A and B are shown apart, each in its own frame.
Chain A
Amino acid sequence: SSKLTQDPVVSVALGQTVRITCQGDSLRTYYASWYQQRPGQAPLLVAYGRNKRPSGIPDRLSGSFSGNTASLTIAGAQAEDEADYYCGSRDTSGNHLVFGAGTKLTVL
């Protein structure tokens, strides 16, 4: 299967830590990338590979992997972290890019 599965909605209290997950068979072979999308904006790459971050992304956002699951952990959640988060990775063939359906993060 080439499907990446994400929880539709996740909530976190302000200042607490939250983990957003992405499951899929292809993740046993390939790393995932994570994108943050605020309302009305284009997606923004926030994590990729084995815990890599683009410049300018705070280190309280971090990626990890275990088995067929990729995770994006946000430590000390801020109001600005409220957004949709998408994982992306190669499909099981390795030849195409697929995205998860997205997780809406609410900061309470």
Chain B
Amino acid sequence: HVQLQESGPTLVKPSGTLSLTCTVSADSLNTFHWNWVRQAPGKGLEWIGCLYDNAKTNYNPSLQSRVTISRDTSRDSFSLRLTSLTAADTAIYYCAREPRNSSDWELDSWGRGILVTVSS
């Protein structure tokens, strides 16, 4: 059973930095691609970026200047860092898995999500 678990602060200040971690099943970090997706309250899904199995990254052009996704193989986890926060970054943040052999960019397993609120 695939498990992804998001963790991190749920309240961050405007102009601050959001740092989230997604813990995945042991030994799977190098065998899948890993994505972050967010959902503002009452809104739709927004792709943030992807960490490939070869450790390369790919970001949403609208967020690229503020986003970093990286991995920690020793902890079976990958992380999201988003800087210069505003209220518009308030959202549920999901981590999601993409099969390495995918050609359709399907996200076949998702974490439960973590609600992050940007407020002073």
- Which stretch (A16-24, A29-37, A71-79) binds chain B? A29-37
Residues of chain A within 8 A of B108, CB atoms compared: 45, 54
Residues of A7-46 contacting chain B, CB below 8 A: 30-33, 35, 42-45
For A2, the closest partner residue in chain B by CB is B61
Residues of chain A within 8 A of B37, CB atoms compared: 43, 99
Total interface residues in chain A, CB < 8 Å: 25
Residues of A43-77 contacting chain B, CB below 8 A: 43-45, 48-49, 52, 54
Cα–Cα distance between A25 and B75 once the two chains are bound (Å): 40
The answer to whether the Cβ of B110 comes within 8 Å of any Cβ in the partner chain is: yes
Residues of chain B within 8 A of A88, CB atoms compared: 45, 47, 105-107
**Residues of A at under 8 Å CB distance from B?**
30-33, 35, 42-45, 48-49, 52, 54, 86, 88-90, 95-102
**Residues of B at under 8 Å CB distance from A?**
35, 37, 44-47, 50, 58, 60-61, 94, 96, 103-113
6 sampled A-B residue pairs with Cβ under 8 A:
A42-B110, A43-B96, A43-B110, A88-B105, A98-B47, A99-B47
